[in-house]
Amino acid sequence: MTEAPHQPYKAAFKVESKPPIPKFQGILIERFRKALKGRGANGIIGLSRQFKIADDNGSGTLDFNEFKKAVHDFGLTLDPQDVQGLFKSMDIDGSGAIDFNEFLRVVVGDMNPFRRNLVERAFRTLDVNLDGRISLEEFSSKYNATNHPDVKSGKKTEQ
Protein backbone atom coordinates (compact mmCIF):
# COMPACT_ATOMS: atom_id res chain seq x y z
CA MET A 1 0.00 0.00 0.00
CA THR A 2 1.24 3.46 -0.82
CA GLU A 3 0.97 6.34 1.54
CA ALA A 4 -2.08 8.53 1.10
CA PRO A 5 -1.25 11.75 -0.72
CA HIS A 6 -0.99 14.82 1.44
CA GLN A 7 -4.00 16.99 1.09
CA PRO A 8 -3.56 20.66 0.38
CA TYR A 9 -3.41 22.54 3.64
CA LYS A 10 -6.75 24.28 3.16
CA ALA A 11 -8.52 21.01 2.59
CA ALA A 12 -7.94 19.94 6.15
CA PHE A 13 -11.10 21.53 7.39
CA LYS A 14 -13.16 21.59 4.21
CA VAL A 15 -15.86 19.68 5.95
CA GLU A 16 -18.49 20.73 3.44
CA SER A 17 -16.59 19.47 0.44
CA LYS A 18 -16.22 15.97 1.78
CA PRO A 19 -18.20 13.34 -0.05
CA PRO A 20 -21.50 13.10 1.77
CA ILE A 21 -21.51 10.58 4.56
CA PRO A 22 -24.13 7.88 4.04
CA LYS A 23 -27.16 8.61 6.17
CA PHE A 24 -26.76 5.64 8.44
CA GLN A 25 -23.11 6.39 9.16
CA GLY A 26 -24.14 9.98 9.74
CA ILE A 27 -26.40 8.77 12.53
CA LEU A 28 -23.55 6.80 14.07
CA ILE A 29 -21.26 9.82 13.91
CA GLU A 30 -23.97 11.92 15.48
CA ARG A 31 -24.20 9.49 18.38
CA PHE A 32 -20.45 9.49 18.74
CA ARG A 33 -20.39 13.30 18.91
CA LYS A 34 -23.13 13.31 21.51
CA ALA A 35 -21.24 10.77 23.61
CA LEU A 36 -18.11 12.92 23.46
CA LYS A 37 -20.04 16.01 24.44
CA GLY A 38 -21.56 14.09 27.30
CA ARG A 39 -18.02 13.63 28.57
CA GLY A 40 -17.36 17.34 28.37
CA ALA A 41 -15.20 17.00 25.27
CA ASN A 42 -16.45 20.09 23.54
CA GLY A 43 -13.36 22.13 22.86
CA ILE A 44 -10.07 21.14 21.35
CA ILE A 45 -8.50 20.52 24.76
CA GLY A 46 -11.24 18.20 25.91
CA LEU A 47 -11.12 16.32 22.63
CA SER A 48 -7.38 15.86 22.81
CA ARG A 49 -7.74 14.50 26.34
CA GLN A 50 -10.31 11.95 25.25
CA PHE A 51 -8.13 11.04 22.32
CA LYS A 52 -5.09 10.52 24.51
CA ILE A 53 -7.06 8.45 26.97
CA ALA A 54 -8.30 6.25 24.13
CA ASP A 55 -4.80 5.89 22.66
CA ASP A 56 -3.72 3.11 24.98
CA ASN A 57 -0.34 2.41 23.41
CA GLY A 58 0.52 6.08 22.93
CA SER A 59 1.03 5.68 19.18
CA GLY A 60 -0.77 8.95 18.40
CA THR A 61 -3.46 7.07 16.47
CA LEU A 62 -6.41 4.94 17.43
CA ASP A 63 -6.38 1.49 15.94
CA PHE A 64 -9.59 -0.47 15.72
CA ASN A 65 -9.23 -2.13 19.11
CA GLU A 66 -8.51 1.13 20.87
CA PHE A 67 -11.41 2.72 19.07
CA LYS A 68 -13.75 -0.12 19.99
CA LYS A 69 -12.78 0.25 23.62
CA ALA A 70 -13.22 4.03 23.49
CA VAL A 71 -16.69 3.70 21.99
CA HIS A 72 -17.56 1.42 24.87
CA ASP A 73 -15.98 3.78 27.41
CA PHE A 74 -17.97 6.67 25.97
CA GLY A 75 -21.08 4.72 26.89
CA LEU A 76 -22.15 3.97 23.33
CA THR A 77 -23.80 0.63 22.74
CA LEU A 78 -23.27 -0.31 19.14
CA ASP A 79 -23.38 -3.54 17.20
CA PRO A 80 -19.93 -4.78 16.19
CA GLN A 81 -20.63 -3.97 12.53
CA ASP A 82 -21.69 -0.45 13.50
CA VAL A 83 -18.45 0.09 15.37
CA GLN A 84 -16.68 -1.07 12.23
CA GLY A 85 -18.75 1.29 10.09
CA LEU A 86 -18.09 4.21 12.39
CA PHE A 87 -14.39 3.44 12.41
CA LYS A 88 -14.28 3.31 8.62
CA SER A 89 -16.15 6.56 8.18
CA MET A 90 -13.80 8.29 10.63
CA ASP A 91 -10.66 6.85 9.05
CA ILE A 92 -10.82 9.29 6.18
CA ASP A 93 -7.51 8.38 4.54
CA GLY A 94 -8.14 4.67 4.95
CA SER A 95 -4.90 4.12 6.87
CA GLY A 96 -6.55 1.64 9.23
CA ALA A 97 -6.18 3.98 12.19
CA ILE A 98 -7.79 7.21 13.30
CA ASP A 99 -5.32 10.01 13.83
CA PHE A 100 -6.03 13.10 15.90
CA ASN A 101 -6.78 15.10 12.78
CA GLU A 102 -9.43 12.66 11.61
CA PHE A 103 -10.86 12.53 15.09
CA LEU A 104 -11.16 16.32 15.19
CA ARG A 105 -12.75 16.60 11.78
CA VAL A 106 -15.63 14.37 12.65
CA VAL A 107 -16.49 16.36 15.71
CA VAL A 108 -15.87 19.78 14.20
CA GLY A 109 -18.32 19.09 11.37
CA ASP A 110 -21.13 19.53 13.85
CA MET A 111 -20.05 22.85 15.27
CA ASN A 112 -21.69 26.17 14.59
CA PRO A 113 -19.65 28.61 12.46
CA PHE A 114 -18.40 30.57 15.45
CA ARG A 115 -17.12 27.54 17.27
CA ARG A 116 -15.73 26.01 14.13
CA ASN A 117 -13.86 29.22 13.44
CA LEU A 118 -12.27 29.01 16.88
CA VAL A 119 -11.17 25.46 16.28
CA GLU A 120 -9.85 26.31 12.82
CA ARG A 121 -7.78 29.09 14.30
CA ALA A 122 -6.48 26.80 16.99
CA PHE A 123 -5.76 24.26 14.28
CA ARG A 124 -3.68 26.71 12.25
CA THR A 125 -1.72 27.70 15.33
CA LEU A 126 -1.11 24.08 16.18
CA ASP A 127 -0.13 22.90 12.74
CA VAL A 128 3.52 23.77 13.18
CA ASN A 129 4.86 22.13 10.05
CA LEU A 130 1.89 23.33 7.96
CA ASP A 131 1.10 19.96 6.49
CA GLY A 132 -2.60 20.39 7.18
CA ARG A 133 -2.54 17.91 10.00
CA ILE A 134 -1.99 18.16 13.71
CA SER A 135 0.14 15.60 15.37
CA LEU A 136 -0.17 15.04 19.07
CA GLU A 137 3.41 16.26 19.40
CA GLU A 138 2.44 19.56 17.83
CA PHE A 139 -0.54 19.69 20.07
CA SER A 140 1.43 19.04 23.23
CA SER A 141 4.12 21.55 22.34
CA LYS A 142 1.54 24.33 22.13
CA TYR A 143 -0.74 23.30 24.90
CA ASN A 144 1.79 22.75 27.61
CA ALA A 145 -0.46 21.51 30.36
CA THR A 146 1.13 23.61 33.07
CA ASN A 147 0.19 26.79 31.23
CA HIS A 148 -3.39 25.86 30.72
CA PRO A 149 -5.79 28.17 32.62
CA ASP A 150 -7.72 25.21 34.04
CA VAL A 151 -4.54 23.80 35.52
CA LYS A 152 -3.54 27.12 37.00
CA SER A 153 -6.93 27.53 38.59
CA GLY A 154 -6.59 24.07 40.09
CA LYS A 155 -9.45 22.44 38.20
CA LYS A 156 -7.20 19.92 36.55
CA THR A 157 -4.03 18.23 37.56
CA GLU A 158 -1.27 17.83 35.08
CA GLN A 159 -0.85 14.25 33.91
Which residues form the interface with Ca ion (CB under 5 A)?
A: 55, 57, 59, 66, 91, 93, 95
Q: Which is nearer to Ca ion, 66 or 127 (CB)?
A: 66
What distance in Å separates the CA atoms of residue 156 and residue 131, rounded to the nearest whole number?
A: 31
Tell the smallest beta-carbon distance from residue 138 to Ca ion (Å).
17
Q: Which is nearer to Ca ion, 90 or 126 (CB)?
A: 90
- Buried b vs exposed e over 33-72: b needs ≥16 C-beta within 10 Å? bebbeeeebeebbbbbbbbbebbeeeeebbbeebbbebbe
Name the DSSP class of 94: -
- Compute how many other C-beta atoms are within 10 angstroms of the C-beta atom of residue 101: 21
Tell the smallest beta-carbon distance from residue 133 to Ca ion (Å).
10
Tell the smallest beta-carbon distance from residue 90 to Ca ion (Å).
8
Mapped onto helix, strand or coil, the DSSP state of residue 70 is helix
Tell the smallest beta-carbon distance from residue 154 to Ca ion (Å).
31
- Compute how many other C-beta atoms are within 10 angstroms of the C-beta atom of residue 7: 15
What distance in Å separates the CA atoms of residue 44 and residue 144, rounded to the nearest whole number?
A: 14
Q: Which is nearer to Ca ion, 93 or 131 (CB)?
A: 93
Q: Which is nearer to Ca ion, 59 or 140 (CB)?
A: 59
Q: Which is nearer to Ca ion, 33 or 55 (CB)?
A: 55
Tell the smallest beta-carbon distance from residue 113 to Ca ion (Å).
26
